Chains A and B, each alone.
Chain A
């Protein structure tokens, strides 16, 4: 440290002392969402960080050497509602508007393995996503969309294998071999138990289905991301930034352990693991979070799992802006929130991004709102200049300090989860759920007592009548979907369906069998999601919550 610097520093400290006597600071203590204390100023001791280089281990500064200077992130808006035909229209609209990848939202019956005519599906058909019963619906959903050119992300977990097989089958019909398909299935059952709730089977058979997919895709769809290990929903359920990274990486390790245990070589499947994070409000903490996650995962894969292929070390991730940060009050304010969150994701080096629409605290987005959300990304990409250099905040005293601090706190959590015997056991004992709920409750209390300010909700409020134009899902849709399903059941070869389901049942009984080929055959015979899941429910049982 130079004499000059020391001199300037002591002068500054003196001035601070004088000023504080007259004007106290806004708060006694400043903290990030994860409770990391925020100092008045960083870099006083001029730390010398070894940041490494982008595209090089441990990838703190990004997974590619040139990042967005070569290729921008993929703008991937999650969409889906009502019928397959209606969603197909929205997809084509988004592609025309310059979106570069598809992201399919499925309705809850599809996600939980019930057909549209099941009693459990009442009131839910087509509500939060598109209803898919059989291959026929998937054909309509993807009609006119070239699967060799567009990559598709599917938010599907417990029945991921079935929807993946449907996608492969549609590809075949379009003349696109499965080797050429690109996209992602979420396929992350552990966070369903923790935070999202669309589980079907108990952990053990669920992990089997997942590792079966890893093995099958390695051979037949090597460009497909076989899992998207998701912190997004953990954050939405109320965790803080540190918990989001810690629980996600712990789940990631559980999948790697399961795959290795099933006999796969780590470098055979690890390059196809993808991640999915939330972009929340605390701007610098979020940027630091992405950077820390990348560095931790690289170390885990290289040092703990001894992966040799550098692609196994790289944490590639999708980001979605934080849905639970949106307010129903003054909904246009949400555009500004989304912009800041999206900027944090870009400065954190995301590979793809979904920006939420302003009306999502009220209902599913309208076409106009969805367009503004996409335009937000395009403005960041093309007008702000932030994509023109790699890791522009690298070396920022504050961001680097936060990155280190988050890494340290995440490692503490990973240690605690290890003591439980890993993520699966920690979940079964409710550890992560309790941690998240406690944080959610404390956040709510801070908002209600005004300690945490939400503009338009607990400060700067106005009298307003919030009745914007909302997207309505046609109530007749459920009935139509059921009629279509009945027609397919009448037209298909039911002998063949029965035969394929019987084979699936036999394979399910033998833990050494990979289930994917039997599921693919059943799907091609137009067996429904519900029928296939019922066979597996019979054999595997159902998870009933912890």
Chain B
């Protein structure tokens, strides 16, 4: 597969290119071919370079406050040259209130101060090659086991197997109380229904105690769901919802996975999980 080609450009007179340079280097480390224009490029110069270099995406950086004038001009100059299929993204010091205007003018996305370069690289990959295989799931995050009562089930895991309880918490959205037992990189998740409407209650009534689901840890849960949807894979949740321990989760229908309920989960960054 050919490398994704990116043009990183500094429109206007702004001389702050630390961000542009760091991003160029980071995208190269992500396997992309990056062309950096250098300082003081006019929208015409940027559009011309994008076409000549046959890039897949243009990234604009501005810290001087000229973004509202210059970013839309780049989109316009590309359109004039019949190259509106080259997506334009932007970043720098850009107040939140300016973002809707820029999106309306055809900039695909704005990355503001504090964005991570990994996030940017993933975004570009999805933008340019939406159907390219995503990285496979990283690990089995946990195996969910439906139980009638946590206190009856726990002694086997703690006293007999000798595992320790990492956390017990209630997940309102699923109507369950869960206990996590850590085993090396993964966990066993015991699920007790909180009320009659809980899906776990229904599961127990139908099948009795037993393995309920397998959770696979992934990045980009939204992108992955969108991609699966495009491929016609039957999903229980088309949008992620909040799961235990501040994660984002979504279930794939058992029909799509040989009768196994598969959960996708993404640990959301930042805080101590």
Interface size on A, residues (CB 8 A): 44
A residues less than 8 Å from B164 (CB atoms): none
B residues less than 8 Å from A440 (CB atoms): 18, 21-22
Could you tell me the distance between the alpha carbons of A459 and B65 in the complex, rounded to whole angstroms?
Answer: 29
B residues less than 8 Å from A122 (CB atoms): 12, 66, 69-70
Pick the residue among B25, B116, B118 that contacts A441 (CB under 8 A): B25
A residues less than 8 Å from B17 (CB atoms): 197
A residues less than 8 Å from B113 (CB atoms): 327-328, 361-362
Q: Could you tell me if A120 and B13 are in contact, using CB atoms closer than 8 angstroms?
A: yes
B residues less than 8 Å from A446 (CB atoms): none
Is A380 an interface position by the 8 A CB rule? no
Q: Could you tell me if B117 and A444 are in contact, using CB atoms closer than 8 angstroms?
A: yes
Is A198 an interface position by the 8 A CB rule? yes
Could you tell me the distance between the alpha carbons of A362 and B113 in the complex, rounded to whole angstroms?
Answer: 8
Q: A440-B22, A444-B22, A461-B271 are in contact. Are A120 and B42 (CB under 8 A)?
A: yes
Q: Which of A202-210, A466-474, A481-489 contacts B (4 or more CB under 8 A)?
A: A466-474
Could you tell me the distance between the alpha carbons of A437 and B26 in the complex, rounded to whole angstroms?
Answer: 12
Q: Could you tell me if A197 and B96 are in contact, using CB atoms closer than 8 angstroms?
A: no
Is B232 an interface position by the 8 A CB rule? no
Could you tell me the distance between the alpha carbons of A362 and B39 in the complex, rounded to whole angstroms?
Answer: 22
B261: min CB distance to chain A, Å: 29
Is B132 an interface position by the 8 A CB rule? no
Mark contacts of A322-344 with chain B using CB atoms, 8 A cut-off: 1 yes-contact digit, 0 otherwise: 00100111000000000000000
A residues less than 8 Å from B16 (CB atoms): 196-197, 236
Q: Could you tell me if A545 and B38 are in contact, using CB atoms closer than 8 angstroms?
A: yes
Q: Could you tell me if B65 and A362 are in contact, using CB atoms closer than 8 angstroms?
A: no
Could you tell me the distance between the alpha carbons of A328 and B110 in the complex, rounded to whole angstroms?
Answer: 14
B109: min CB distance to chain A, Å: 16
A477: min CB distance to chain B, Å: 12
B250: min CB distance to chain A, Å: 20
Could you tell me the distance between the alpha carbons of A437 and B18 in the complex, rounded to whole angstroms?
Answer: 7
A residues less than 8 Å from B13 (CB atoms): 108-109, 111-112, 114, 120-121, 124, 198
B residues less than 8 Å from A470 (CB atoms): 95, 97
Could you tell me the distance between the alpha carbons of A444 and B17 in the complex, rounded to whole angstroms?
Answer: 14
A residues less than 8 Å from B68 (CB atoms): 123
Q: Could you tell me if A197 and B66 are in contact, using CB atoms closer than 8 angstroms?
A: no
Is A192 an interface position by the 8 A CB rule? yes
| Secondary structure of the B contact surface, majority rule | loop
Could you tell me the distance between the alpha carbons of A529 and B118 in the complex, rounded to whole angstroms?
Answer: 43
Closest to B17 in A: A197
A residues less than 8 Å from B269 (CB atoms): 458
| Secondary structure of the A contact surface, majority rule | loop
Q: Could you tell me if A123 and B26 are in contact, using CB atoms closer than 8 angstroms?
A: no
B residues less than 8 Å from A461 (CB atoms): 270-271
Is A457 an interface position by the 8 A CB rule? yes
Q: Could you tell me if A197 and B15 are in contact, using CB atoms closer than 8 angstroms?
A: yes
Is A19 an interface position by the 8 A CB rule? no
Q: Could you tell me if B25 and A457 are in contact, using CB atoms closer than 8 angstroms?
A: no
Could you tell me the distance between the alpha carbons of A524 and B95 in the complex, rounded to whole angstroms?
Answer: 40
Mark contacts of B48-87 with chain A using CB atoms, 8 A cut-off: 1 yes-contact digit, 0 otherwise: 0000000000000000111011100000000000000000
Q: Could you tell me if A327 and B114 are in contact, using CB atoms closer than 8 angstroms?
A: yes
Q: Could you tell me if B118 and A329 are in contact, using CB atoms closer than 8 angstroms?
A: no
Could you tell me the distance between the alpha carbons of A120 and B17 in the complex, rounded to whole angstroms?
Answer: 18
B70: min CB distance to chain A, Å: 5
Which of chain A's residues 279-323 have a Cβ closer than 8 Å to chain B?
none
B83: min CB distance to chain A, Å: 21
A residues less than 8 Å from B114 (CB atoms): 327-329, 457
A239: min CB distance to chain B, Å: 10
A196: min CB distance to chain B, Å: 5
Q: Could you tell me if A448 and B22 are in contact, using CB atoms closer than 8 angstroms?
A: no
Is B209 an interface position by the 8 A CB rule? no
B residues less than 8 Å from A545 (CB atoms): 38-39
Q: Could you tell me if A108 and B95 are in contact, using CB atoms closer than 8 angstroms?
A: no
Mark contacts of A419-448 with chain B using CB atoms, 8 A cut-off: 1 yes-contact digit, 0 otherwise: 000000000000000000100110010001
Closest to A111 in B: B13
A residues less than 8 Å from B272 (CB atoms): 459
A188: min CB distance to chain B, Å: 13
Pick the residue among B26, B42, B65 that contacts A127 (CB under 8 A): B65
A404: min CB distance to chain B, Å: 30
Q: Could you tell me if B12 and A460 are in contact, using CB atoms closer than 8 angstroms?
A: no
Is B14 an interface position by the 8 A CB rule? yes
B residues less than 8 Å from A127 (CB atoms): 64-66
B residues less than 8 Å from A473 (CB atoms): 65
Q: Could you tell me if A363 and B22 are in contact, using CB atoms closer than 8 angstroms?
A: no
B residues less than 8 Å from A386 (CB atoms): none
Could you tell me the distance between the alpha carbons of A122 and B17 in the complex, rounded to whole angstroms?
Answer: 19
Closest to B268 in A: A461
Could you tell me the distance between the alpha carbons of A257 and B66 in the complex, rounded to whole angstroms?
Answer: 38
Q: Could you tell me if B12 and A467 are in contact, using CB atoms closer than 8 angstroms?
A: no
Q: Could you tell me if B14 and A197 are in contact, using CB atoms closer than 8 angstroms?
A: yes
A489: min CB distance to chain B, Å: 22
Q: Could you tell me if B66 and A467 are in contact, using CB atoms closer than 8 angstroms?
A: no
Is A128 an interface position by the 8 A CB rule? yes
Q: Could you tell me if B21 and A467 are in contact, using CB atoms closer than 8 angstroms?
A: no
Mark contacts of B111-141 with chain A using CB atoms, 8 A cut-off: 1 yes-contact digit, 0 otherwise: 0111011100000000000000000000000
Q: What are 24 A-B contacts with C-beta separation under 8 Å? A: A108-B12, A112-B13, A121-B13, A122-B12, A123-B69, A123-B70, A128-B14, A128-B64, A197-B14, A197-B17, A197-B40, A236-B16, A237-B18, A238-B22, A324-B18, A328-B113, A328-B114, A361-B93, A361-B113, A363-B93, A440-B22, A459-B272, A461-B270, A470-B97
B residues neighboring A (CB under 8 Å): 12-18, 21-22, 25-26, 38-40, 42, 64-66, 68-70, 93, 95-97, 112-114, 116-118, 269-272
For the complex of A and B, the 5 pairs showing the least CB-CB separation, nearest first, are A197-B15, A123-B69, A123-B66, A108-B13, A461-B270
Given contacts A112-B13, A437-B25, 10 further A-B contacts (CB under 8 A): A108-B13, A114-B13, A124-B13, A127-B64, A127-B65, A362-B95, A364-B65, A458-B269, A461-B271, A467-B96
